[in-house]
Structure 1
Amino acid sequence: MNKQLENLLKLNLEDILKVAFQPIYSLDGEIKSYEVLSRFYNKDNDVISTIKVIKFLEKQDTIHELDFLILKKIEKYLKDGKKIAINISPITILMDEFLEKVNLLKCNLSNLEIELTERGDFNYKKLITRINQLNKLGIKVVMDDFPMKNSSLETLLKTQINKVKIDRSLLKDINCPLGKEVYKGIVSLLKTMKHEITIEGIETKEQFDFIKEIGVNFVQGYYMGKPILENELAL
């Protein structure tokens, strides 16, 4: 972490954060929901690496500040009836304050989806309990980056995960017959477990045609549509 970035991040997060919205489509091309993406800029409007910002906040044990800020920013869209997916750190999800923040949202909580990536150290048993608590509030929980984390399958078996998002890195392997069969096998497994499936990272017509052939619930990627800046997302 360079000193310039460290000094910048000591400022108010709200001053450097902008959010974008990645459309999530059905296979027939209808926008069904949006995934929130964090974008960071300095005072000269130069882009700051999102990965570096998140790693710094995690190292400082302040990642929850970003999660809570984004939750606040999307409240008006949830209230308007848009379905919004937000990636939340497991560390934040396990905080008692997180449930309090969620319950204070003035919106229909069924419009909120929480994308879960199992990174960092956390109490796994408590996470299972928290996922089930969120379900009772009407919030859908999405397993992100499947099957790239060691405990992803265990989490699917032990919790009421509603949706699964297959990691974009697996698409690069569908150019060979074996890669296609592996991908089909993952989709088949998730269908057997009755999970809704989102495919992310679709960038070409060939990828889209393959995904359409095997059949899933939702797709996202630059081939269908690029992220929309907040001022372009009509209320």
Structure 2
Amino acid sequence: MSLKYQPIVSINKSLYFYEVLFQPSIPMKSKEKEIFFIKNKSNSKLHEYIINTLSSERKTKKKLRDKKISINIPLSYLSVEENIITLSNIEEKENIILELAEYDEILNLYSICKRLKKMGFSLAIDDYGKGWSNIERVIKMKDCLDIIKFDASWLYKDLNKLSQEYKKLCHYDCIIEGVETNEQYNSIRNIGFKYIQGYFISAPINLPF
């Protein structure tokens, strides 16, 4: 098992932060990976492994030093007090962005997110628009959120709708995921997005020591 890092960059292609991605030791097709992560979304040991490995690599890999890094955190993980304590032990929290990876209902979500913000973390909504997310939830959590990551599926919808949705949320740092072509890059730049992620910029990569 290993970690890879995918750059999120500004529209002029300068680094904003890295998203850390877990790489299973057994090669899997994209659909198999999706099933694997769905089955393991509540696996606290897996998320603890990712957190601990990231903490170790931030100390040993020069390219990670003083860089902002995001981690996908299922909301179900946040509902366990022991897991909150694990997060509280992360060093340099000001350089860590927690991407809320689900939009399930959990008790006390707002108070949990306020607690994480008080610890020093930045918070992001991942996969916005994929189906389970909604702008009403974002509005309710507006005091906690720093970043909205628009799901890649927006790139294949009516771009006028994407533009309208972006205008509602542009006071956050808005990132569009899944940018793969120069045409898509030009389209989201014209809409006004300041940050992008996707294979047009870089696939997830191994960072050398």
Alignment partner of 2:185 out of 201, 208, 214 = 208
Distance 2:45 2:111 in 1: 23
The alpha carbon displacement at 1:151 in A equals 4.9
Q: Deviations over 1:89-121 (max 9, x none)?
A: 10101211122112222x21011111112255x
**Structure 2 regions of 5+ residues with no counterpart?**
60-64
Q: Could you say which residue in structure 2 is the equivalent of 1:98? A: 83
What amino acid sits opposite 1:181 in the alignment?
A: N
Q: Deviations over 1:66-110 (max 9, x none)?
A: 1111111111355532211111110101211122112222x2101
What amino acid sits opposite 1:47 in the alignment?
A: M
| 1:47 partner SS | coil
TM-score by length of 2: 0.88
The alpha carbon displacement at 1:154 in A equals 2.6
Distance 1:186 1:201 in 2: 17
| 2:116 partner SS | helix
The alpha carbon displacement at 1:198 in A equals 0.5
Could you say which structure has the higher helix fraction?
1
Alignment partner of 1:185 out of 164, 175, 179 = 164
Seen in structure 2, the aligned counterparts of structure 1 residues 136 and 185 have a Cα distance that, compared at 3 Å, is: same
Q: Could you say which residue in structure 2 is the equivalent of 1:156? A: 138
Q: Deviations over 1:108-141 (max 9, x none)?
A: 1011111112255x42x41111111111111111
Count of aligned residue pairs for this structure pair: 200
Q: Could you say which residue in structure 2 is the equivalent of 1:9? A: none
8 Å CA contact retained: 2:130, 2:153: no
TM-score by length of 1: 0.78
Matches within 5 A, 1:1-235: 17-42=1-26, 46-47=27-28, 49-58=32-41, 62-78=42-58, 80-105=65-90, 107-120=91-104, 122-123=105-106, 125-159=107-141, 160-173=144-157, 179-191=158-170, 194-229=171-206, 233-235=207-209
8 Å CA contact retained: 1:20, 1:37: yes
Q: Which has the higher contact order (CA 8 A, sep 6+)?
A: 2
Q: CA RMSD in A?
A: 1.8
Bigger CA radius of gyration: 1
